[in-house]
Amino acid sequence: MIKADRVAISLPKPDTYEPGKLDIDKIRTSRGGHDDAELVYDSTWGQLKADNDAFVGKSSPSRPSVETCIQDAERGAIGDLDNASLRPGDAFCLVSADENVAWIRFVSKGSGSPPPLQFELTVWQRP
């Protein structure tokens, strides 16, 4: 079951004290601690990091099936990603501890250092 389909999201620009974060279970972005976030945008290094036991792996720039997205996430833990290496079209799949599955495709960067990041997001309830 699709919970969110191709939603445009912006991962907020982190500041010194609060990272930007994406909670795929609640389909929201915010700033603050790492609680409930599967993807955290670290202000110190400008890196995206998997958090809270999420599996994250590279995926196709075209939205995959939920089954393929699960395989992509479980097959390849990507570690930390430097925002400077992100290119439009780069895509990732995440599986949360609550068993939600997300496909997230990088769209663009805003201005600033580090910049806010814009993504397209689809979230499924795991079958």
The tens digit of pLDDT for each residue in 66-115 reads 999 999 988 876 666 777 788 999 999 988 888 889 999 999 988 877 77
Q: What are phi and psi of 83, to 5 degrees?
A: -60, -25
Q: Rounded to an integer, what distance in angstroms lies between the CA atom of residue 127 and that of residue 101? A: 9
User: What does the pLDDT read at residue 64?
Assistant: 96
Sheet with 20-23, edge to edge strand ranges: 28-31, 20-23, 39-42, 47-50, 81-82
**pLDDT, greater one: 67 or 33:** 67
DSSP state of 15: -
> Which residue type is seen at 7?
V
> Which residue type is seen at 64?
P
Total domains in the fold of the chain: 1
Q: Which residues contact 85 (CB under 8 A, 6 or more apart)?
A: none
Taking only the tens place, the pLDDT of each residue in 35-57 is 677 788 876 777 777 776 677 88
Is the whole-model pTM more than 0.85?
Answer: no
Residue 83's nearest CA partner among 22, 42, 122, 55 is 42
User: What does the pLDDT read at residue 62?
Assistant: 95
Domain hosting 67: range is 2-125
Q: Rounded to an integer, what distance in angstroms lies between the CA atom of residue 57 and that of residue 74? A: 7
User: What does the pLDDT read at residue 15?
Assistant: 67
